[in-house]
Amino acid sequence: MAAAFNARDPLGQLLATRRDLWRGREPAGGTAVVSSGYRHLDRWLPGGGWPCGRIVELVPERLGVGDLHLLLPFLAERTHRGQPVILIAPPLIPCPQALQTAGLDLAHVVVVRRRTHALWAAEQCLKSGLCGALSIWPPERMQTRTLRRLQLAAEQGSAPLFIHYRPGQSPPPSLANLRLAIRSGPELEMLRATGRSGTGDRRIQLQTHHSSARTSAAATVAPIPFPGQ
């Protein structure tokens, strides 16, 4: 839309140069994305992948439904680039053998166990600009102000920030670019998104098949239409 602005519209010119601003009814643009590792999931996600330097909220219906498994191909790619992957306060300690089988280079995987300092650790890691991805399982009560601080920290780098809520935990109001519900199957539902799904569907069924320890998973994704469609 930048071509529509001219010298008689200085405000429009200024807004056109700011890629970090979203103007109401226009689709958000300018946010870089990285591939999820699943071709069809990329087609479904707004922008074609996970947003860089932004929050992605994952809301599983139960523990172990697959919220971390969903990220493994992307996390593996980050580690093989030599970029640290940070897992903060997971409810269950990930099995190293399972991570390695999924293709992750364990030399670049960091697990922070202490929940008491989880939010501080996440903020410092994001501010460093060195990590390739960060996943955090926040405490049950997290204030909107804290979430905003994490968003500002994420914007200082290019790492997607994945916030894994616990089953039954209500996410606070946030400026997250993406919020996905994860159900058995696994089935993904887009609860919130800056921009529209690439396929126009709000739900997909995702099936993963790992062909080897060093290759990304392939996926078969079938759109699930809304009732009445």
Q: What is the pLDDT of residues 150-180, one digit of tens each?
A: 999 999 889 999 999 988 888 888 778 899 9
E strand or H helix at 11: helix 10-17
Residues near 125 by Cβ (< 8 Å), separated by ≥ 6? 86, 88, 131, 134
CATH of region 55-223, choose from 3.40.50.300, 3.40.50.970, 3.40.50.170, 3.30.70.270: 3.40.50.300
Q: What is the pLDDT of residues 6-50, one digit of tens each?
A: 445 566 555 444 444 444 333 445 679 999 999 989 999 999 999
- The radius of gyration of the chain's CA atoms, rounded to the nearest angstrom, is 18
Task: Determine the residue type at 65.
Answer: V
Rounded to an integer, what distance in angstroms lies between the CA atom of residue 59 and that of residue 36? 17
Nearest to 75 by CA among 48, 28, 109, 52: 109
The CA–CA distances, whole Å, from 69 to 65, 94, 123 equal: 9, 10, 23
Full-model pTM: 0.77
